[in-house]
Structure 1
Amino acid sequence: MASTEPPSPLSGSGTAPAALAGIRVLDLSRILSGPMATMVLADLGADVVKVEDTKDGDDTRQWGPPFQGDEAAYFLATNRNKRGISVDLKTDRGREFVLRLADRADVVVENFRPGTADRLGLGYRTLSARNPRLVYASISGYGQTGPWATRPGYDAIAQAQSGMMSITGEPGGPPMRPGLATADIGAGMWATIGILAALEARRTTGRGQHLDISLLDGQLAWLTYVAGGYFATGDTPGPHGSAHPTIVPYQALATGDGFLMVAAGNDRLFQRLADVLGSAPLAADPRFATNPDRVRNREQLIPLLEAELSRHGSSEWARLLDTAGVPCAPISTVDQALASPQAVARDMVTELDHPTAGRLRTVGSPLKLSDTPTRVRTAPPVLGQHTDEVLAEAGYSPAEIAELHDAGAVR
């Protein structure tokens, strides 16, 4: 298991500046989509200041159990490497503090319902007039335009309306959502891509711009080849369980003691699979000779494969198929996946110290940059941990900081 020090050999020597060193990010977001985007930027070296309210902070601070110490595990998962301040944005003095930070920022990220940031005096037009170089990312359920723009945005609703749930689950079963918040996480990833593109464009134009990212748009974009199949045929896609609509066999198959994911992505791999199973004639059977044949006749093929796989357990078949070069894997549980030798070798679990939660484990960054590596530097902040520090950086005197606290504008 990796720790934050020393840096991993996979991530270079650690002597070069971080990729986003010098980039200042003002994070007005909460819950998951915005915090996910800003955590990626923070991992890449940006100075991210997270703004939370003065009462309870980010909603996810209360989203438990589970908790670690006084902190919800949900909040801890997406807020590392950030400095945290607590501000009452409904007060004039609180807003003035945030405006000062926006004047110095390169990026602002918010995921209020459309119109809320404008009502607070923190919308794109206001902030960009003061700071024309500002890259301003708005994340919402449906975007800033269109007939649904003012509706509240929730991950599960975006999954439902995007068609994503209609293609997830077993054939004939009820619609299902994946085990993760794919719409929120996806929107955070799209926002990160857009922010990086806008920062690069600013190098040429000298100006920032407004990014309009929606959960629904992101899920529609993820339909990719599923949407392509619909466009090509007019047939409405449905669920296939663990299977692939256009590759066979490419699914979890029952073995003697469980399930094994098998991905025979071409005819050559199917031939190898049949050989290992001792069923070489299957590959010559005209029903299964090519992938289109196997797609048309999957209902006949899968029971034949599972009959052979029932002779051994998943681990034994995984060993035999892996030796033969057939992509496969037993179905790992989350604990098994995080403890796998590959995850450990890739520093995908890291540890750091939190002021109240103690020793904290967190999923590492998947971004492996050879010269400007990511860093897991600091734990997620406790509520208001860096308020005074950031106030001082913004030019407030000790007396002014005390006045802001007394007035309830900050915490």
Structure 2
Amino acid sequence: MKPVDGKALQRIRVLDLTRVRAGPTCIRQFADWGADVIKIESPESMEVSDGWGGMRDGPDFQNLHRNKRSLTINLKDPKGKAIFYRLVEKADVVVENFRPDVKFRLNIDYETLSKINPRIVYASISGFGQDGPYAKRPGFDHIVQGMGGLMSITGDPAHGPMRTGIAVADTGSGLYCALAIMTALFEREDSGKGQWVQVSLLQTMIAMLDFQAARWLMLNEIPSQPGNNHPTSIPTGVYPTADGHINIAAGEQAMFLRLCNAIGRPDLIEVENFSTEENRSIHRNELNHVLSDITRRRKSSEWLSIMEKGHVAAGPIYRVNEMFDDAQIKHLKMAAPVDHKRIGKIKLVAQPFSMSRTPCEIRTAAPDRGENTVEILTSLDYSDREIEALRQEGVI
């Protein structure tokens, strides 16, 4: 089936066994681009839910699980497993983030499912990997931020290690997993075969350290906490103003010269301690003190206007409400509207990339648990009587 405008991934069917954040972040990359995503949940009779304690209509759940259909199955019941296997026959992707041993106990591991459908791409997200000495440990974003080195390079040294304000290991793992699945689907076009994709929060966190990790691997340099300073490019950081703070990034030589001219201090480039990028890095505290004394004299809006006219990289430091009120962010349409049957019109976070012919679309709010069970089972040729019997037995 050829994709039509607006649904780039409509040919793809994804079976979503994920919970919490990393897995749903991965799945969202498929759902928003038109894939048929079936979120598989436990029946209410099992008293197990991904609704996060009754917060299914809350912003987090709605933002993660939009554009999906929901099917309830008891995967511990042979009849429930039979339903799942029938779905696998026509699916392209299965994604799970159980503890590494759970899928084998349930007989829904890659080896088992690949015998049903050799083209299936099976993705597993874990905290520390599918095997190895830490494989059975519970994996949480906060723990991995520490183990993966991020907390040691985040925050001010005077206050000790600091986690980031977002679940960066979870979100990064979901995005890496989506990329890995896309890669496997692309390779399948040549081989005709699926494969098992594995992503862990710990590996993701290390990969996301990027140049900071490479500094150790190549130079044996241990990065430290730079606070609001850039690790190597000075001056780059947060500077006080008469009514708040702004960001300035002027580490490169030509940019620093423009900054000096913009703030009315062209003489600073002649100061030996500030004359080169290397000297500014060494004498960062001295330079930041000089700049801060100057930036405190005007309001943030005045400095931002001056910096823009002087072609100096600078920007405001927004709270979230202020960020969404910015003209450029409104232009980029990062708040995407959708209708929710109980709440009414809501807005969710839009995708950060666009395509000219097949844009993404937030079509539906997150489904209620089991909202599409009858619809999906009917498509698998279950009769109304069979569906009701399955419900009575607690299979669905």
Structure 1 length as normaliser, TM-score? 0.92
Tell me the distance in 1 between the aligned counterparts of 2:4 and 2:180.
Answer: 28
Report the equivalent of 2:17.
Answer: 28
Contact 1:167–1:237 (8 Å) recurs in 2: yes
Q: Out of 245, 248, 260, which is 2:234 matched to?
A: 248
Residue 33 of structure 1 aligns to which amino acid in structure 2?
A
Contact 1:141–1:149 (8 Å) recurs in 2: yes
Tell me the distance in 2 between the aligned counterparts of 1:189 and 1:263.
Answer: 28
Contact 1:391–1:401 (8 Å) recurs in 2: yes
Residue aligned with 2:157, SS: coil
Kindly state the Cα deviation for residue 63 of structure 1 after the two structures are TM-superposed: 6.9
Tell me the distance in 2 between the aligned counterparts of 1:258 and 1:273.
Answer: 19
What are the residue-to-residue correspondences of 1:311-326 with 2, within 5 Å?
311-326=297-312
Residue 32 of structure 2 aligns to which amino acid in structure 1?
D
Contact 1:61–1:71 (8 Å) recurs in 2: no
Unpaired runs of 5+ residues, structure 2, are none
Does residue 62 (structure 1) correspond to residue 48 (structure 2)? The answer is no
Contact 1:141–1:215 (8 Å) recurs in 2: yes
Report the equivalent of 2:151.
Answer: 165
Tell me the distance in 1 between the aligned counterparts of 2:291 and 2:190.
Answer: 57
Q: Out of 371, 389, 394, which is 1:403 matched to?
A: 389
Contact 2:41–2:50 (8 Å) recurs in 1: no
Kindly state the Cα deviation for residue 58 of structure 1 after the two structures are TM-superposed: 4.3
Report the equivalent of 2:135.
Answer: 149
Contact 1:16–1:372 (8 Å) recurs in 2: yes
Runs of 4+ in 1 over 6 A off after TM superposition: none
Kindly state the Cα deviation for residue 357 of structure 1 after the two structures are TM-superposed: 2.5
Residue 199 of structure 2 aligns to which amino acid in structure 1?
I
Assess, with a 3 A threshold, how the Cα gap between structure 1 residues 31 and 113 changes in structure 2: closer, same or farther.
same
Report the equivalent of 2:266.
Answer: 280
Tell me the distance in 2 between the aligned counterparts of 1:15 and 1:52.
Answer: 30
Contact 1:32–1:185 (8 Å) recurs in 2: yes
Tell me the distance in 2 between the aligned counterparts of 1:25 and 1:341.
Answer: 36
Structure 2 length as normaliser, TM-score? 0.96
Deviations 1:111-135 (A, max 9, x none): 0010101111111110011100000
Residue aligned with 1:231, SS: helix
Deviations 1:366-392 (A, max 9, x none): 120111111111111011111111111
Residue 26 of structure 1 aligns to which amino acid in structure 2?
L
What are the residue-to-residue correspondences of 1:12-411 with 2, within 5 Å?
16-55=5-44, 58-62=49-53, 71-410=57-396
Unpaired runs of 5+ residues, structure 1, are 1-13, 65-69
Deviations 1:183-232 (A, max 9, x none): 10000000000000000000000000000100000000011110122234
Report the equivalent of 1:67.
Answer: none
Kindly state the Cα deviation for residue 72 of structure 1 after the two structures are TM-superposed: 2.5
Residue 20 of structure 1 aligns to which amino acid in structure 2?
L
Tell me the distance in 2 between the aligned counterparts of 1:307 and 1:135.
Answer: 58
| Alignment coverage as a number of residue pairs | 392
Residue 110 of structure 2 aligns to which amino acid in structure 1?
Y
Tell me the distance in 1 between the aligned counterparts of 2:264 and 2:305.
Answer: 15
Contact 1:57–1:86 (8 Å) recurs in 2: no
Tell me the distance in 2 between the aligned counterparts of 1:371 and 1:108.
Answer: 27
Kindly state the Cα deviation for residue 150 of structure 1 after the two structures are TM-superposed: 1.3
Residue aligned with 2:15, SS: strand
Tell me the distance in 2 between the aligned counterparts of 1:327 and 1:17.
Answer: 36
Tell me the distance in 2 between the aligned counterparts of 1:63 and 1:234.
Answer: 49
Assess, with a 3 A threshold, how the Cα gap between structure 1 residues 384 and 138 changes in structure 2: closer, same or farther.
same
Assess, with a 3 A threshold, how the Cα gap between structure 1 residues 184 and 358 changes in structure 2: closer, same or farther.
same
Instruction: Name whichever of 140-149 and 182-191 sits farther off.
Output: 140-149
Contact 1:169–1:241 (8 Å) recurs in 2: yes
Tell me the distance in 2 between the aligned counterparts of 1:362 and 1:341.
Answer: 18
Instruction: Name whichever of 48-57 and 146-155 sits farther off.
Output: 48-57
Kindly state the Cα deviation for residue 156 of structure 1 after the two structures are TM-superposed: 0.8
Contact 2:334–2:350 (8 Å) recurs in 1: yes
Tell me the distance in 1 between the aligned counterparts of 2:181 and 2:12.
Answer: 11
Contact 2:6–2:361 (8 Å) recurs in 1: no
Residue aligned with 2:389, SS: helix
RMSD: 1.5
Tell me the distance in 1 between the aligned counterparts of 2:137 and 2:249.
Answer: 40
Contact 1:246–1:295 (8 Å) recurs in 2: yes
Residue 284 of structure 2 aligns to which amino acid in structure 1?
R
Residue 206 of structure 1 aligns to which amino acid in structure 2?
G
Tell me the distance in 2 between the aligned counterparts of 1:246 and 1:402.
Answer: 65
Contact 1:169–1:176 (8 Å) recurs in 2: yes
Contact 2:155–2:161 (8 Å) recurs in 1: yes
Tell me the distance in 1 between the aligned counterparts of 2:177 and 2:107.
Answer: 22
